[in-house]
Amino acid sequence: MAETALAIETAGLTKDFGAGRGVFDLDLAVAAGEVFGFIGPNGAGKTTTIRLLMDFLRPDRGRALVFGHDARGESVLVKSLVGYLSGELPQYGALRGAELVGLLAGLRGAVDRTRIEDLARRLDLDLSRRYRELSHGNKQKLALVQAFMHRPRLLVLDEPTLGLDPLMQQEFRALVREAVADGATVFLSSHVLSEVEQICDRIAMIRAGRLVRLGSLAELRTIRTHRVEASFAGAVDAGALAAVPGVRQVEITDHRLRCSVTGSIGPLLAALRTAEVVELDSVELSLEEVFLAHYGAAATD
């Protein structure tokens, strides 16, 4: 089959585990060269979709293509094109980091040793330590090294920053930008809105195994929600605040406001200008909370 301008394409992709669990009739098209965010609450079907792409699971119906190659019928070829990071890290026991990476590099073939050393240095990873001695964060770093080391055409990353500190998360984003600049495509699964917002070009949202939204980051920002609490000395009209665009669940008790705000917080701040605000705190809701607010209790398993 001839290669296409699409890095990933799925059509009617379905894996039904029963009891409403799985992935159902998933249609995706990821262009070559983009950073694509695949987001949803835990249990929504993100990892199942990735395992179908990697041919670790077989679909009940539908198909998945990687650069025009069938993920099932051309499984070995597809895997040669991909740098993969699993959401559940395997266990390698007494192997040292250098031994593990060397083994995987040998299977890949033509991996530059200096590339491995550079990745380890940037991620502050000691490759001489045994795998079982590593913290979860360092195991995650080792998984990133093996995913990036051969400069794959497609990076498929399932929750790649799980366990990384903020400095290493920043370094990970730099690695993604460099890979894309070299022509790679990135398919990134996450349940962290802020992470997706910083590096992705487009996003797809999945809930209970079904695609619920597909679009740009501008569309993502329309559902970004904050919980706002404010103390004030003046008077506030609860009814007027409830009418402010994006403001919901308004509660006012003893000169203290609690509400949620979807989208820009600017209209709420404008409405509070005369309230003599003494203190204001805003916290971004988790993706699970956002899904519950927008799609109801069925948003999570």
* pLDDT tens, N- to C-terminus, the chain (301 residues): 456 689 999 999 999 999 999 999 999 999 999 999 998 878 889 999 999 999 999 999 999 999 999 999 999 999 999 999 998 888 899 999 999 999 999 999 889 999 999 999 999 999 999 999 999 999 999 999 999 999 999 999 999 999 999 999 999 999 999 999 999 999 999 877 777 878 999 989 898 999 988 888 776 666 778 899 999 999 899 999 999 999 999 999 999 999 999 888 999 999 999 999 999 999 987 655 666 666 654 444 3
CA distance 55 to 36: 20
pLDDT at 300: 41
pLDDT at 230: 97
Helix (H) / strand (E) element for 240: namely: helix 238-242
CATH 3.40.50.300 maps onto the chain at 6-221
Q: Is the dihedral of CA 137, 143, 144, 146 positive or negative?
A: positive
pTM of the entire predicted model: 0.81
CA distance 49 to 179: 23
- State which fold the 225-299 domain adopts: Alpha-Beta Plaits (3.30.70)
CATH 3.30.70 maps onto the chain at 225-299
For 232, phi then psi, to 5°, come to -145, 155
CATH number of 6-221: 3.40.50.300
